Amino acid sequence: MAITIRYTNTLDAPLTEQQVDFNGEFIKVISDNGIIKKMEEFKDGILFHLIYYKTVGEVEATLVSSLGPTVAHTLSIRDRNTHGVYTIENENDYSNGILKFKSRYLVDTNLNKVCVEEYDPIGGNRIRIEKFLYDTNNEFSLGFDYNPDNSIESVHGPDIPHWYSVKGNSVPANDLLIAMPNVFIDHPYYQDGTFLP
């Protein structure tokens, strides 16, 4: 078992231990044999948010009662499953021991979140879905927002055509094929809000 610790800023840029302001904002990432076990987000030097990846046999209620009191704001418990070349992460967010949000992430082999779904923790209804497209340099390119019926609502991001400028740098669905006529030909997965490719 090889435990490693690395640090990042809140934008996920790597930091050396010497660069970390232990009284400021940073994220401490703890891995076991190269697989992330937990991420601790600090604000003003206080553990603000903890993401914990549970393993088979760990009971979520026990984790919430043991880890929850150590966190100032929220505790996220995640589990991982594979689907082809993707990883699906299911997440439950707790605050003061109470389930506040449920989410599901589709993660690619470059560890990019390709799709995010958020659910009502009580009724289980999906309340938000967003997909993310990355360029050949593995940089965020476009974000796609969807309506509850899975239809496209809007697209946003740095690769919106420069000639198409609207408030918030996003393109509403009714203008999408004018602003970006080949987007769904080149990237059919983003045509609708279906989670899996």
- Statement to judge: residues 56 and 115 lie in one domain: no
The residue assigned the tokens 């610790």 is 5
- Statement to judge: residues 115 and 187 lie in one domain: yes
In a domain, 86, yes or no: no
What token pair was written down for 44? 């003003």
Q: How far is CA 54 from the centre of its chain?
A: 17
- Statement to judge: residues 125 and 60 lie in one domain: no
Which of 70-74, 108-112, 131-135 has the least mean pLDDT? 70-74
How many domains is the chain partitioned into structurally?
2
What token pair was written down for 61? 């209620």
The residue assigned the tokens 């400021």 is 24
Look at residue 170 in the predicted model and tell me its pLDDT: 78
Q: What is the pLDDT of residues 139-193, one digit of tens each?
A: 999 999 999 999 999 999 888 887 675 555 778 888 888 888 999 999 999 999 9
| E-only strand ranges, 18-71 | 26-32, 35-43, 46-53
Look at residue 106 in the predicted model and tell me its pLDDT: 98
pLDDT at 6 over 80: yes
- Statement to judge: residues 56 and 137 lie in one domain: no
Range of the domain at 133: 108-197
Q: What is the pLDDT of residues 23-79, one digit of tens each?
A: 889 999 999 998 899 999 999 989 999 999 999 899 999 999 999 888 888 999 999
- Statement to judge: residues 112 and 191 lie in one domain: yes
pTM, to two decimals: 0.84
- Statement to judge: residues 123 and 56 lie in one domain: no
Which of 1-5, 100-104, 192-196 has the least mean pLDDT? 1-5
- Statement to judge: residues 57 and 14 lie in one domain: yes
Look at residue 130 in the predicted model and tell me its pLDDT: 97
- Statement to judge: residues 112 and 69 lie in one domain: no
Q: What are the distances in angstroms from CA 179 to CA 115, 160, 183? A: 23, 8, 9
> Average pLDDT, stretch 127-141?
94
- Statement to judge: residues 72 and 117 lie in one domain: no
Three-state helix/strand/coil letters over 120-186: CCCCCCEEEEEEEEECCCCCEEEEEEECCCCCEEEEECCCCCCCCCCHHHEEEHHHHHHHCCCHHHH
The number of helices, as runs of H, and strands, as runs of E, in the chain is: 3, 13
For residues 183 and 176, is the Cβ–Cβ distance under 8 A?
A: yes
- Statement to judge: residues 121 and 56 lie in one domain: no
For residue 97, the one-letter residue type is G
Q: What is the pLDDT of residues 68-100, one digit of tens each?
A: 888 888 999 999 999 999 999 999 999 989 999
Look at residue 167 in the predicted model and tell me its pLDDT: 52
- Statement to judge: residues 121 and 192 lie in one domain: yes
| Beta strands 46-53; 35-43: pairing state | antiparallel
In a domain, 87, yes or no: no
- Tell me how far apart the alpha carbons of residues 32 and 38 are, in angstroms, rounded to a whole number: 9
Give the angle 80-83-85 at the CA atoms, nearest 5°.
105
For residue 84, the one-letter residue type is G
In a domain, 193, yes or no: yes
- Statement to judge: residues 117 and 195 lie in one domain: yes
Q: CB neighbours of 62 closer than 8 A, spacing ≥ 6?
A: none
Which own/partner pairs from 99-105 qualify as long-range (CB within 8 Å, at least 24 positions apart)?
100/74, 104/195
In a domain, 63, yes or no: yes
